[in-house]
Amino acid sequence: MASSLKNLSSYNDKEVPSASDMLFGIVLSEWNAEITHSLYQGCIDTLLKHGAKEENVYVARVPGSFELTTGARILSGQHNLDAVICLGCVIKGETSHDEYINQAVATGLTNLGITTGKPFIFGLLTTNDEQQAKERSGGKHGNKGTEAAITAIRMAALKREASGTTKKKIGF
């Protein structure tokens, strides 16, 4: 398995735009709270590291991962956000519930992004067991919350560049 060879949250700081004037939403699932809190911590720390201001980050908590899409829609409707980051954790169990939840969240966030033109970031861990979740929420494989924050910053910058509100070119 390739992911066992490196920390998946490694990135080059120089490739991340400043988030100093961006507004973000974070929607956090309360299910698997120990894991999702670690995802949140990685996310917020990364946003702040890249210049986001605490007062420009709005947080909404939802009961479970299935509710991430609706929570994201509600939060984005309340504020003029540059991007919405959805954080959750679905651990495979004895039934196929994980497949339905994961697919619903992925499809829902994709549809929100397409219909609104706003980045909705998929920060949902989809693991086989709790150990894998811990390894990807601040363990040896990094933190999906960190990755989601970087993605949000880069996508918000891309949207601004495409709309002409910044002078940078799209791409490299």
CA distances from residue 124 to 1, 144, 156, 172 in whole angstroms, order as listed = 20, 8, 19, 28
50 labelled catalytic: no
Report the distance separating Cα 81 and Cα 75, nearest Å. 9
- Residue 44 structure tokens: 């917020």
Set 37, 50, 79, 97: catalytic member: 97
- Cβ burial of 58 (10 Å; 0-12, 13-18, 19+) is middle
Number of H helices, E strands in the chain: 5, 6
Q: Which residues are catalytic?
A: 97
